[in-house]
């Protein structure tokens, strides 16, 4: 089963895991100069990936963000959701607590969520380096989360073929 997971936001990613092979496809969400999501490109990438199920992380704006930032984030999330609905593919909205509960099982409960995700990533993807931004070298939480949401999707919806994956670079 091909499971696509989307970590939304300006620096978001789409990751597609193939539960029957060791392949993971990833691509960044692309936005135009006005902040609009490139929906045609995203729809093309999802179609070409042969995704059979799409998981979109259901997240909200944050307190401490300006009203404009919250509005822009909500707008981008809404665009993603509409593109997914128009794809006519099965889809699920997944809150962070839902996927983290499964992915973080067995990891020290004293760690923060991001630290738990790092530990989980090294367990599920032992042959892949931790994703880092090309300029800063900092851990890319957006790609990390998309990989783990996709892993959750495979664990929940394609249980019979769970495995660890390797990357295939697509559009990054």
Structural domain contains residue 171: no
Structure tokens at 96: 């962070």
Tell me what pLDDT residue 168 has.
Answer: 45
Residue range 121-162, pLDDT digits in tens? 999 888 888 888 778 889 999 999 999 999 999 999 886 655
Mean pLDDT computed over every residue of the chain: 87
pTM for the structure as a whole? 0.88
Structural domain contains residue 169: no
Q: How far apart are CA 139 and CA 134, in angstroms?
A: 10
| Residue 68's pLDDT band (cuts 50, 70, 90) | confident
**CA torsion through residues 126, 22, 37, 135, sign:** positive
Give me the domain span that covers residue 19.
2-160
- Number of domains observed in the structure of the chain: 1
Q: Name the residue among 172, 144, 143, 170 with its Cα closest to residue 51.
A: 170
CATH at 93: 3.30.420.10
How far, rounded to the nearest angstrom, does the alpha carbon of residue 98 sit from its chain's CA centroid? 14
Structural domain contains residue 166: no
Structural domain contains residue 134: yes
Structural domain contains residue 113: yes
Question: Between 6 and 9, whose confidence is greater?
Answer: 6
Structural domain contains residue 172: no
């Amino acid at each position: 089963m091909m499971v696509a997971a989307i970590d939304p936001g300006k620096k978001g990613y789409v990751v597609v895991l193939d539960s029957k092979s060791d392949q993971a496809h990833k691509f960044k969400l692309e936005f135009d100069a006005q902040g609009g999501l490139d929906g045609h490109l995203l729809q093309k990438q999802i179609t070409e990936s042969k995704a059979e199920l799409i998981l979109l992380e259901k997240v909200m704006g944050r307190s401490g963000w300006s009203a404009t930032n919250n509005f822009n984030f909500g707008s981008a999330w809404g665009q993603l959701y509409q593109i997914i609905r128009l794809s006519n593919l099965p889809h699920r909205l997944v809150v962070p607590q839902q996927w983290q509960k499964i992915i973080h099982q067995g990891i020290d409960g004293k760690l923060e969520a991001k630290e738990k995700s790092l530990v989980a990533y090294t367990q599920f993807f032992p042959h892949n380096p931790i994703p880092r931004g090309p300029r800063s070298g900092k851990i890319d939480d957006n790609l990390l989360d998309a990989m783990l949401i996709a892993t959750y999707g495979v664990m929940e919806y394609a249980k019979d073929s769970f495995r660890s994956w390797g990357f295939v670079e697509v559009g990054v």
